[in-house]
Structure 1
Amino acid sequence: MISFSKRAFLAFTAVVLTGSFPGLINAQSAKIEEGFDYRILPVAQPVETQGKVEVIEFFWYGCPHCFDFEPELSAWVKRQPKDVIFRRVPVAFRDDFMPHSQLFYALEAMGKGDAMNEKVMYAMHKENKRLLTESEIADWVTTQGIDRNTFLATYRSFAVVSKARAARQLAETYRIDGVPTIVMQGRYVTSPSIAGTKAKAIVVMDYLEILIRKNKYK
């Protein structure tokens, strides 16, 4: 299994799944097919920036497959040209996972998102920290050298809570039923689960990036 489905999400416990993904592919010889390696949304969603390639990763800090996909995805993001806009959107399929979305936006608001996101995932998946309550989150953040009071003020802020709620609504609008899921240009959807492997998903993303430019960012 290489995607964390909504069903599995709702049944989540403290158990962390581990494993590796076989089937590395030759990018140059890979055949990319709509309906197999990616799908097109019936109703395209608006992009935030015109004339750019918009890439959204819908993810959840607690998803073991998001954690496993992170190295490949981060490497892909780092090699992209300036016309590629990448952003992450946290998904909470259940109310008691909303603190993870607030944690994401609080770190982002403090300018620490890029530096801390991988650390949050490592803490959850390698150090068995659940980070499901405000106090657990604040305690952990403090160990990372972040002022507790400043963090809590940001975490509880109207702006952060609103963004967490908006992210949940966006995931519903896109009909996200599993993570990690990549959406490009508001219409093309792929993931390691859809494409078959992490490596194939990256190849599909490269393919879609070229397609979007060819279609004049549509």
Structure 2
Amino acid sequence: MISLSKRTLFSVAALCAAISISGIASAQSPKIEEGFDYRILPVVQPVEAKGKVEVIEFFWYGCPHCYDFEPELSAWVKRQPKDVVFRRVPVAFRDDFMPHSQLFYALEAMGKGDAMNEKVMYAMHKENKRLMTENEIADWVASQGIDRNTFLATYRSFAVISKARAARQMAETYRIDGVPTIVMQGRYVTSPSIAGTKAKAIAVMDYLEQKIRKDKFK
């Protein structure tokens, strides 16, 4: 009788421990739900690279939330394997924001995008530089050691202006109504505002990345 009671006690204790561990795991891995933490685009958009996980950040240089999210997003990008393709698309919600899109693509065309994007955002959000006109932008770029005339030629080029316009159209096609917004595989949409926090948005991106692989990059 005593032996049976001990066995029963041990079983109950083991069950409680298992429930406790499960509860801790659940707390550490918050539930991720469609409609709450991410949504699906009404019309799925084509991806550029087959057999890859495509991740697009729609952003605007002047957006304080984009600047605030940048450290977490950059850290996430750096730890991704080779089958994850990440790119940024500048969004101009108004005509007077188009110079920022041209700035982004001009720097990219000159091979200086990765090195300069964070500096552009720092200048705007920490040094109070608006960079709203061509002259303001060119002066600032020149202050960073880039030849002013070469930059302006690139900034004014048909290729850069076309890319800036295409980016605006792309944002409309993807129904982007705020930034920063992350779109994965042309299908899944999340952001710190959708997920609730920056940390949760990163967790959602990890979840969607695994889901995309599991679904064979669909």
TM-score bucket of the superposed structures, by smaller chain: 0.7 to 0.9
Partner AA of 2:201 in structure 1 = A
Per-residue CA deviation, residues 48-68 of structure 1 (Å, 9 max, x unaligned), is: 010000000000000000000
Unaligned stretches of 5+ residues in structure 2: 1-25
Q: How many angstroms apart in 2 are the aligned matches of 1:136 and 1:42? A: 39
Are 1:170 and 2:170 counterparts?
yes
Are 1:129 and 2:129 counterparts?
yes
Q: How many angstroms apart in 1 are the aligned matches of 2:54 and 2:203? A: 17
Per the TM alignment, residue 29 of structure 1 is displaced from its structure 2 partner at its CA by 1.7
Q: How many angstroms apart in 2 are the aligned matches of 1:29 and 1:75? A: 19
Larger mean Cα displacement after TM superposition, 26-35 or 156-165: 26-35
Per the TM alignment, residue 27 of structure 1 is displaced from its structure 2 partner at its CA by 8.4
Per the TM alignment, residue 145 of structure 1 is displaced from its structure 2 partner at its CA by 0.4
3-state SS, counterpart of residue 179 of structure 1? coil
Q: How many angstroms apart in 1 are the aligned matches of 2:27 and 2:164? A: 36
Q: How many angstroms apart in 1 are the aligned matches of 2:48 and 2:64? A: 29
Are 1:66 and 2:66 counterparts?
yes
Runs of 4+ in 1 over 6 A off after TM superposition: none
**Larger helix fraction of residues:** 2
Per the TM alignment, residue 91 of structure 1 is displaced from its structure 2 partner at its CA by 0.2
3-state SS, counterpart of residue 161 of structure 2? helix
TM-score, L = length of structure 1: 0.87
3-state SS, counterpart of residue 166 of structure 2? helix
Number of positions where the alignment pairs a residue of Structure 1 with one of Structure 2: 193
Q: How many angstroms apart in 1 are the aligned matches of 2:68 and 2:133? A: 24
Change (3 A) 1:75 1:142: same
TM-score, L = length of structure 2: 0.87
Per-residue CA deviation, residues 113-164 of structure 1 (Å, 9 max, x unaligned), is: 0000000000000000000000000000001000000000000000000000
For the pair shown, which has the larger CA radius of gyration, 1 or 2?
A: 2
Greater relative contact order, per chain length (Cα 8 Å cut-off, separation 6+):
1
Q: How many angstroms apart in 2 are the aligned matches of 1:110 and 1:56? A: 21
Q: How many angstroms apart in 2 are the aligned matches of 1:177 and 1:28? A: 31
Partner AA of 1:101 in structure 2 = S
Per the TM alignment, residue 30 of structure 1 is displaced from its structure 2 partner at its CA by 1.3
Per the TM alignment, residue 28 of structure 1 is displaced from its structure 2 partner at its CA by 4.0
Partner AA of 2:195 in structure 1 = A
1:196 is aligned to: 196
Q: Is residue 27–residue 203 contact of structure 1 (8 Å, CA) maintained in 2?
A: no
